[in-house]
Amino acid sequence: MKIGPYSIIGKNVQLGDDCYIGNNVTITGNTTIGKKCKIFHSSSIGEIPQDLKFDGEKTKTIIGDNTTIREFVTINKGTNQLGKTELGSNVLLMASTHIAHDCIVGDNVILSNLATLGGHVEIGDWAVLGGGVLVHQFTKIGEHSLIGGGFRAVQDVPPYILAADYPLKFRGVNLIGLKRRGVSKEDRRLIKKAYKIFFRSGLNRKNALEKIESDLPETNVVQNILKFINQSKRGII
């Protein structure tokens, strides 16, 4: 454990083994940080939300193992709506990113410099947000998806895709990322076929989902796509 000068660690903070805390870091509130995390200078973790409805309720901030938080990152604790803000393990938050109250960020996620999450955002495992990406409150970003730098997400981004443009649009399947992470050739083929039906067939949402369900086998990746889209409340990009 190493804690740099002028850093402040609150009395209710729990730090895992072998963490590195740089200088001028503030960690406060009911915050739990896993093992082997690195938090660089001038970051703020566990402060009260920037939510005018917040009334001092006791909520948490949870950060998994082996997560890296670079300079000037801010992570706000949850409100009584969810009770926590939570990051998984092996997450990389580059400089000046912001995680608002009640966000849930999965494992192995990367947020590039200046990426900003509104409240109640959910990000699936292995997702990547480019520099300066803005994510509207209550939006969901699917696993293994990638959003290009400088764009904004105001609707849900389904898993396994590339997204870019104004407004944000489907720009193909994240084939390189999926291949790097060991997703099989057959699963990649099924993902491409599912999204060709959903985005390119001209069918409405209901009919496209029915065609995916009837035409494609019930593999995990196909079921993940169907589940994500069916559960979307903000609509799909």
Last residue of a domain, one of 90, 110, 138: 138
Residues 130 and 183 in one domain: no
Which residues, 6 or more positions from 76, have their beta carbon under 8 angstroms from its beta carbon? 46, 47, 48, 49, 50, 61, 85, 99, 100, 101
Closest by CA to 131, choosing from 105, 167, 94, is 94
* 141/121 Cα distance (integer angstroms): 8
Q: Is residue 150 part of a domain?
A: no
Q: Is residue 148 part of a domain?
A: no
Last residue of a domain, one of 112, 138, 164: 138
Mean pLDDT, residues 29-52:
98
Residues 125 and 56 in one domain: yes
Residues 31 and 127 in one domain: yes
Residues 54 and 130 in one domain: yes
Query: Where does residue 182 fall: left (phi above 0), alpha (psi -120 to 50 degrees), or beta otherwise?
Result: left
Residues 87 and 204 in one domain: no
In terms of C-beta density within 10 A (0-12 exposed, 13-18 middle, 19 or more buried), how is residue 39 classed? Answer: buried
* 79/48 Cα distance (integer angstroms): 9
CA distances from 215 to 158, 201, 211 (A): 19, 13, 6
Q: Is residue 157 part of a domain?
A: no
Q: Is residue 236 part of a domain?
A: no
Q: Is residue 98 part of a domain?
A: yes
101 catalytic? Reply is yes
144 catalytic? Reply is no
pTM greater than 0.85: yes
pLDDT tens across 80-121, in order? 999 999 999 999 999 999 999 999 999 999 999 999 999 999
Contact 4, 34 (CB under 8 A): no
pLDDT tens across 116-151, in order? 999 999 999 999 999 999 999 999 999 999 999 999
Residue 164 is predicted with a pLDDT of: 98
Q: What is the CATH number of the domain that holds 211?
A: 1.20.1180.10
Contact 60, 29 (CB under 8 A): yes
118 catalytic? Reply is no
Residues 14 and 88 in one domain: yes
Residues 128 and 18 in one domain: yes
Q: Which residue of the set 22, 106, 118, 119 is catalytic?
A: 119
Q: Which residue of the set 65, 98, 101, 124 is catalytic?
A: 101
Q: Is residue 103 part of a domain?
A: yes
- Residue 131 in tokens: 């520099």
Domain count, the chain: 2
Last residue of a domain, one of 138, 170, 195: 138
Q: What is the CATH number of the domain that holds 26?
A: 2.160.10.10
* 160/178 Cα distance (integer angstroms): 7
Whose structure tokens read 């009395």?
A: 11
Which residue range is the domain that position 200 belongs to?
178-231
Mean pLDDT for the chain? 98
In three-state secondary structure terms, 59 is coil
* 184/178 Cα distance (integer angstroms): 8
Residues 34 and 129 in one domain: yes
Read off the amino acid at residue 131: G
* 196/130 Cα distance (integer angstroms): 24
pLDDT tens across 155-175, in order? 999 999 999 999 999 999 999
